[in-house]
């Protein structure tokens, strides 16, 4: 039996929020084609389009292929607001003044 961590990206079809869910996938007997999906150690249904949007709560999500967001980082950027953007907007200017003034 093998376990694999999978990060599945979703996009809400209602508010276009993009988020990821971490799952642990336990491969059961190959003859069953069985996969057991766990989230937080609890068996859950495999990710599907009924996944609930954490922002608006609707259940109309699109599932992206794994790793999709790594290739499209622009999707996770908040549209119009920088609330969750960890990059500081303040530029490191102060130390340069001495250099400019000589
Ligand atoms: Zn939504």
Whole-structure pTM value: 0.62
Task: Break the chain into its structural domains and give their ranges.
Answer: 2-76
Contacts of 22 (CB under 8 A, 6+ apart): 5, 6, 7, 39
Top mean pLDDT of 27-31, 85-89, 98-102 is at 27-31
Q: How far is the CA of 19 from the centre of ligand 1 (A)?
A: 10
Q: How far is the CA of 33 from the centre of ligand 1 (A)?
A: 32
Structure tokens that stand for 39 in this block? 């989230």
Q: How far is the CA of 10 from the centre of ligand 1 (A)?
A: 10
Q: What is the pLDDT of residues 48-94, one digit of tens each?
A: 878 899 999 999 999 888 788 888 888 877 655 545 556 656 665 55
Q: How far is the CA of 48 from the centre of ligand 1 (A)?
A: 15
């Amino acid at each position: 039996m093998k376990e694999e961590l999978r990060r599945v990206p979703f996009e809400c079809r209602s508010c276009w929020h993009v988020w990821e869910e971490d799952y642990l996938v336990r491969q059961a007997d190959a003859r069953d084609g069985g996969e057991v999906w766990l989230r937080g150690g609890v068996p859950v249904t495999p990710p599907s389009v009924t996944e609930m949007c954490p922002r608006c709560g609707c259940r109309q999500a699109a599932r992206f292929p794994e790793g999709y967001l790594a290739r499209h980082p622009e999707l996770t950027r908040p549209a119009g607001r920088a609330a969750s953007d960890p990059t500081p907007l303040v530029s490191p200017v102060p130390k340069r003044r001495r250099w400019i003034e000589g």
